[in-house]
């Protein structure tokens, strides 16, 4: 698999290399993109569910009048 050298260095001061993937066949490209999209959708749904849970935890229901009067009403 081809790789390229980045400007980063690791803890031993050696260059960090990143792998490159070239989807050269139609079948491979479709499989790769399909996996990427499905992983993205899973992460998106997980983030949305976490956000909904957090929003539900922050809902505050106030009933009745405030304890003291506010000056700018």
For residue 2, CA distances in Å to 34, 41, 47, 68 come to: 22, 28, 33, 70
The whole-model pTM stands at: 0.49
> Can you give the residue ranges of every domain in the chain?
3-44
pLDDT in tens, 10-61: 989 999 988 888 878 999 989 999 999 999 999 999 999 988 888 777 755 5
Which pLDDT score is estimated for 52? 85
């Amino acid at each position: 698999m081809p790789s390229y050298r980045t400007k980063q260095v690791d803890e031993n001061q050696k260059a960090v290399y990143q792998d490159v993937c070239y989807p050269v066949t139609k079948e491979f490209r479709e499989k790769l993109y399909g996996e990427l999209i499905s992983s993205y959708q899973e992460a998106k749904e997980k983030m949305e569910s976490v956000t909904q849970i957090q929003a539900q935890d922050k809902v505050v229901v106030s009933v009745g009048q405030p304890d003291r009067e506010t000056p700018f009403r």
